[in-house]
Every structure is written in structure tokens, then in C-alpha cells.
Amino acid sequence: MDIEEEIRSLQLDSEEDNGVVKPDEAMPEVENESKMEEDPREEIHTQSDQSVVVEHKGKAKEIPEPEEEHDEIELDRKRHLNVVFIGHVDAGKSTTGGQILFLSGQVDDRTIQKYEKEAKDKSRESWYMAYIMDTNEEEREKGKTVEVGRAHFETETSRFTILDAPGHKSYVPNMISGASQADVGVLVISARKGEFETGYERGGQTREHVQLAKTLGVSKLLVVVNKMDDPTVNWSKERYDEIGSKMVPFLKASGYNVKKDVQFLPISGLIGLNIKTRLDKSVCSWWDGPCLFEVLDSIELPLRDPKGSFRMPIIDRFKDMGTVVMGKVESGSVREGDSLVVMPNKVPVKAVALYIDDDRVKRAGPGENLRVRISGIEDEDILSGFVLSSVVGGVRGGGFELGTSSDIGNQSITKE
């Protein structure tokens, strides 16, 4: 018997040396230590609510958030800015906008030749670049922008939406619509003799547009002195300085910090000088500054929080396989399928589809021009100025008076 007991004890010792432990004799401390040393094992606990939680021994508990994974959306795309072109009628806003699109490759040579012929047939040879932005026949016949033109272009670092605002005083409400969506304003001034004075004098749209832009939250302003190639100007530094000396005091009086938020530069919108590339010294010997594209790329704006509460003021709505609302995302992000609320009526809706420009996306962040197809509301129940908001932490409706949709937008949205 003594021999058998001795053999059994030797077997137990050898099993322990080889790491073999009987399940009923295993000690928790040994198990924990071996699991810390080996690869983490997954232990699945079934909770009372039938949910399954996966824990990793030896690591902090981590539950990945699927919404933060690589998305199909363009949050990692180039930054996006809305740029509104403002100024007195005939200052060259549409021509400059058209030239920008041509130089950035958005319009081909064949289209330009077609517009040149069309403008020549109407005895308006210098208007052909404006036809890129002014698309309807009324605008082309009169040579005046009526609706806010919209177009897109890109540089190496940024994406831009051009908002071509009308300059005639009869269409100021349309100009306000464009400026209210803008991050940056481009004030186009004609350097031609007599034209700057007409726009700047009392009753001219140069003054009114500056004041409206500041009121509507356009904090950054580029003052482009256009038509510097005109025979009455011929890239004259004296004329450029004269316009600057009159504009600076007015801009200060309108609330702009001229040193920080305003920049002047000379251009020629018709022939495309100092827009994409810098001026050649043979054309203008005194200008050493950047071109328009460089200035637009260098503009710094306050960052908006993509994880904040979603807010999008509605500028328009229409019917297209359901109710579609348009606007610029001022704060937060939205995903396809999100539950939202239309304020101030507090109507719960669902985001069925999202579109940036003409592309359908899964998610959109702040600063984007967005079209959202929503369910749960009819288009006739929505007014311009209503706000599409996240359900939690969104816009509070207590301070609104129904029936004044423009006030709703102004009270509820602050540019962050």
C-alpha cells in the first residue's frame, strides 16, 4: 500500500510540473495568472436581457462604436466653404465667377466658344463669361443676375460653392438669401472710372451689400478690385489705392476688423488675371501679393463641432419622391436613418436619404450644403427659416413666435 501511495503522489507531482491541472482542483489565482500571460480569451456572459457582452481578460472593457468606423461619407474630404459674390450691379460678379469655373476646369473650351458666339449675336461680346453663371434667358437678355447662381469648384486644399448674388437693388431679398448661407464674402468693385463712385455713393449697392453681409454673419471679406485691365485704369496703383482709402473707413464703420478679416487684391475677371495664378510683373509691376485662389485657400474659419447637436436651417423645400429640404449644416452631423425634428413645430421626422451636391452620402458634417429627404411631414408644412434639428440637445422652441419664419432662423442659429 505504501508503494501505491508513493507512486500516486509522484504522478500528481509530474502532472503539476507539466501544467496539467484537474478541473475540480484548479485554483482561480493560477487560472487568472495563466490567462494574463497567454493571449486574451473571450468569455461570454449571457445577461438576463439575453444581450451578449464580450470581455477581454487582462484588458479594459472596450465596446467599439460602429458609427465611428470608416464611413462612406465625405467627412474626411477637403474642407468646404460657401463663397458669396456681392457688390454693385455691373461690377463683374458673374463674369468673375464664370472665369473661376473656367480656370478650375469646370467648364470646357467648347462651352466657352458657344457662349462667346451667343454673346456676340446679342452684341454683348464682354458678357460671355457671365453666361456660365447666369443660366436663364432673362438674365442673359438684361445682363443682370436675378436669382442666386450656384456652382462648385475645387482647389488643392478646399472645396468651394460659389453663390452669385444679384447686384441690382430690386433683387436685394435674393442677395440676402445667398449671403445668409455664406462663410466668406467676395466684394467685387469695379475700378472703371465712374463705376466705383456710382456703387459707393449713397443708394449704391456696394455699401448696402457690405452692411447686409456683416449683419448676416459673413465674418471674412475679400475686396477684389475688378476691371483693372480697363483702358481707363490700366493697372494703376493710384486708382487701386484711391478705392482702398475710401473703402477701409466704411468697412471699419460696418463692423469689420480690416487688418484681421478683410483683404484687398486687384484682378481682371474678364481675362482671368490674378485669379488662379499670380500677376506677371510685366502686367502689374507694383503687386507682390497672392492671387484669389491662394487667398481663398488661406482663409481660416472657426471650427464647427461635428459631434455637437445637429442643426440645419431650411432655405427651401420641394417634393421629389417624398419631402426634400435644403440648407447648410451649421452644427453637428447627420446620418441616413437618423430621427430628427423640424422646429419650431416639433414634428418628428426621419432622414431617409442625404445628398451633397448631386452625390448620395451616408453621413454629412458641418459646413456642407445638404439636401435631406425626410419622412413624416409634407412639404407644405415647412417654411423657409424652419430648422431641422437633432432630437436630443437640438433647438429649443420656447423663444419663437410662429408666423415669422425669418426670425426663427435668426434666433435659433448662431455661427459657431
Q: What pLDDT score was predicted for residue 179? A: 81
Query: Where in the chain are the domains?
Result: 2-63, 77-298, 311-412
The pLDDT, as a whole number, for residue 124 is 74
Percent of the chain residues past pLDDT 70, beyond the cut: 74
Query: What distance in Å separates the CA atoms of residue 208 and residue 250, rounded to the nearest whole number?
Result: 11
* Those residues with Cβ within 8 angstroms of residue 133's Cβ, 6 or more apart along the chain or in another chain: 94, 97, 98, 101, 145, 149, 151, 162, 164
- Domain 77-298, CATH among 3.40.50.300, 3.40.50.1450, 1.10.10.10, 3.40.190.10: 3.40.50.300
The per-residue pLDDT for range 165-203, each reduced to its tens digit, is 887 777 778 788 778 888 899 999 999 988 999 888 877
Which CATH code fits 311-412? 2.40.30.10
pLDDT at residue 70, rounded to an integer: 39
% of the chain exceeding 90 in pLDDT: 35
Read off the pLDDT band of 365 (50, 70, 90). Answer: confident
* CA–CA separation, 99 and 93 (whole Å): 10
Q: Is the pLDDT of residue 401 over 60?
A: no
Mean pLDDT score of the chain, rounded to an integer? Answer: 78
Q: Confidence band (pLDDT; 50, 70, 90) for 244? A: very high
Q: Is the pLDDT of residue 163 over 50?
A: yes
More confidently predicted of 132 and 412: 132
**What confidence score (pLDDT) does residue 133 get?**
79
pTM of the model: 0.70
pLDDT exceeds 60 at position 38 = no
